[in-house]
Structure 1
């Protein structure tokens, strides 16, 4: 058993040993260093144009579309198009063989001239009191009949030339010279594509928010990077009793003629346009049904404060703030998970339309700050 004096000696030796270690290795005696400020990227709450989106799927139609056909039975003499090109209103697209019609027209012209000469002779005889007035009237009636037959043949002659009724793009050429065509045979399609009709359906519950002239955007899988602007032209007069939806027709300008009839479009109608306070959606901290943000106090050495906000509508990457923030407030948008209420942060930069988050990170990485 160790005596009490020996125990006291061991304690004294242990204390001397620890003192020696602290003198030999000062690092063990130092206090832990203070935590460095958390690097973050911020964004300002800004007023921006905002609207409530109404999404739908629609189908495109040409502003004007027609399938041209013959009005007479005859063979094709010439084709004035190759397919796919633009033509102007009045351009001849197909010529039919009109030899017989031309011969009939010349015969009618000769008959008209003969009747005109007869009228002139009888009129001269009547002036000399050598003719009967009734003969003159009969001759003039025959002349009018001949003139009417001539005009009828001239009108029929137009049926041998198929013209474009409006300016547009012709479709494929599926006919050849010498083909015998009859009334109703499809010869060529013609579409006016500089403006398109977009038909889609929306729930009847949105009728109170829609009116002609409202703007919309439409996108297509064929051109995913392009948003086509348009506006509502007509709202259907009837609601489908089965789907409880109403038809909407919009007009979209298509000056480059990228869009084609039959294309499927994703439509977003702009409802309730307004000025809204907007922040990046990444700045929100959700907790149940509540949302918070970290506001940077620029006058207090970049200290952050946790603040509850009321969130309105959202759109990709952005959120509308109804209460809790003011225009110009600086909020943490990247680094939210590392920053805490009451702490100081190191601001790497402010992201906006001209400065991306990637650019800020690369700039700080090059400077050795990240």
Structure 2
């Protein structure tokens, strides 16, 4: 009996001591908490700004001259004169080469002499007829002979013109393919001639984009030769047929090329912009995704304390590190740009850095973005 009584007393004493220790710990913790509140989380902030966005249809295109031909002669003869050098600018009508025309010049001289004789003969016949000496039939014969002589002169003049090869339009000649004294035949290449004052850029787009493309739309094109330069142009024509195999349609754009930097045959990356707009945007690092929701943490200051509050947003397109916000944010609001993984609803924060991409543009890439 005494043994049980001792055990009961020991348990009571142990429970009392445990309660006293717990009370002191809790009291000490409460006092320490009251004296040293939790510190605010350091974050980087970003002030929401507007950026220019656009849906883009991207394609590969091939540059072509406004006009382009392979220059050749129409007759066979030897080359007596060359009036151009490779890469030279020429005007419409400029003589490129002259073929040997000695035979044609002699024939023309003879034909013109005959023509003058026929004209004098007709004048004599007319005089005789006016005096009633010659019959009317003689006048008809003289007139027919004169017309034959005129036709002969015109024929040789045409042959003589074929001995001269002229530029049919203004442009740049290519590499010279002939030499002085060379015998040239019809169809033999002399050089190429390209009018590169404007470039026709042909590219194909899938047929599903037909509803979004029309003549007059602006395009931007780039080439590896000038990676830092964007060439602007407009859509001139859209082919009347869709390729039944590739299900794509050919689109032709025109680009001003007065500086001559684009050469025919160059490969270019084409971007067709549509639905251009100015929208609020935030850095991609500011966005948190959970299931089907996307949200950011907006900073709000009250009674001198800055805290983070979750805000659901709807997102649009993306360029570089900037994401379009179509709903949920307004320009001027401040969001957490970095450190969102440590933030919870209502937690106090302190801004240690400010990210700023500027207004109305993109930090590291073109403002418009490719449609996903």
Q: Would you say same fold, with TM above 0.5?
A: yes
Residue 316 of structure 1 is matched in structure 2 by 320
Q: Indicate which of 205, 217, 221 corresponds to 2:220.
A: 217
* Distance of 1:341 and 1:162 partners within structure 2: 82
Q: How many residue pairs get matched?
A: 329
Pairs within 5 Å for 1:290-309 = 290-297=293-300, 303-309=307-313
Pairs within 5 Å for 1:125-164 = 125-164=128-167
Cα deviations by residue, 1:41-70 (Å, 9 ceiling, x for unpaired): 523232x44321111111111111100100
Higher mean Cα deviation, 93-102 or 309-318? 309-318
Residue 335 of structure 2 is matched in structure 1 by 331
* Distance of 2:363 and 2:86 partners within structure 1: 50
Residue pair 1:216, 1:232 contacting (<8 A) in 2 also: yes
Q: Indicate which of 246, 270, 275 corresponds to 1:272.
A: 275
SS of match in other structure, 1:216: strand
Query: Normalized against structure 1, the TM-score is what?
Result: 0.80
Deviation at 1:239, TM superposition (A): 2.0
Residue 71 of structure 1 is matched in structure 2 by 74
Residue pair 1:232, 1:249 contacting (<8 A) in 2 also: yes
Distance 1:79 1:296, change over 3 A: farther
* Distance of 1:242 and 1:223 partners within structure 2: 33
RMSD over aligned Cα, in angstroms? 2.8
Residue 183 of structure 2 is matched in structure 1 by 180
Residue 369 of structure 2 is matched in structure 1 by none
Pairs within 5 Å for 1:72-91 = 72-91=75-94
Deviation at 1:297, TM superposition (A): 3.5
SS of match in other structure, 1:137: helix
Q: Indicate which of 247, 250, 254 corresponds to 1:247.
A: 250
Higher mean Cα deviation, 121-130 or 291-300? 291-300
Residue pair 2:48, 2:330 contacting (<8 A) in 1 also: no
SS of match in other structure, 2:176: coil
Residue pair 1:219, 1:266 contacting (<8 A) in 2 also: yes
**1:353 aligns to 2:365 (yes or no):** no
Deviation at 1:111, TM superposition (A): 0.8
Higher mean Cα deviation, 272-281 or 330-339? 330-339
- Structure 1 gap ranges (5+): 1-30, 359-370
Cα deviations by residue, 1:182-203 (Å, 9 ceiling, x for unpaired): 1110111001112111112111
* Distance of 1:92 and 1:83 partners within structure 2: 14
- Structure 2 gap ranges (5+): 1-34, 365-372
